Amino acid sequence: MKDLASANLDHMTPEEFEAYLPELFEAGGGSISKDPRFANFFKAYPNCAALVADLETIAEQARSLFEPIHDPSDSVWSNIASKLQHGGGTDSDES
């Protein structure tokens, strides 16, 4: 990984930009496309802008895999509590 502090953002080539991508994503929290430092670069190199957009979409989708869609309903918790109170769902009755 290259050190972003030493990067010349005004005269960066697409190859240099790609070398900085891991650090950029880490430092930017996965969002680079809205960083004003790269506005001119993305205008000059639309393929790099498209690559960043794709990577941001992938990162967003990956994060969503770890987020619960919704909490279980109250009826699920009531059903679990009822089964526990009445000993339902245990294997001891099947012996």
Residue 79 has a pLDDT of 87
- How is residue 74 written in tokens? 């109250």
Residue 57 has a pLDDT of 92
Asked if the structure places residue 26 within a domain, the reply is: yes
Please count the CA atoms within 13 angstroms of the CA of 47 that sit on its side-chain side.
Answer: 5
Model pTM? Answer: 0.62
| Domain span including residue 46 | 4-64
Q: What total of structural domains would you count in the chain?
A: 1
Contact between 48 and 42 under an 8 Å Cβ cutoff? The reply is yes
> Taking residues 5-27, what's their average pLDDT?
84
Alpha carbons 28 and 10: distance in angstroms, whole number: 18
Asked if the structure places residue 82 within a domain, the reply is: no
Asked if the structure places residue 80 within a domain, the reply is: no
Contact between 34 and 42 under an 8 Å Cβ cutoff? The reply is no
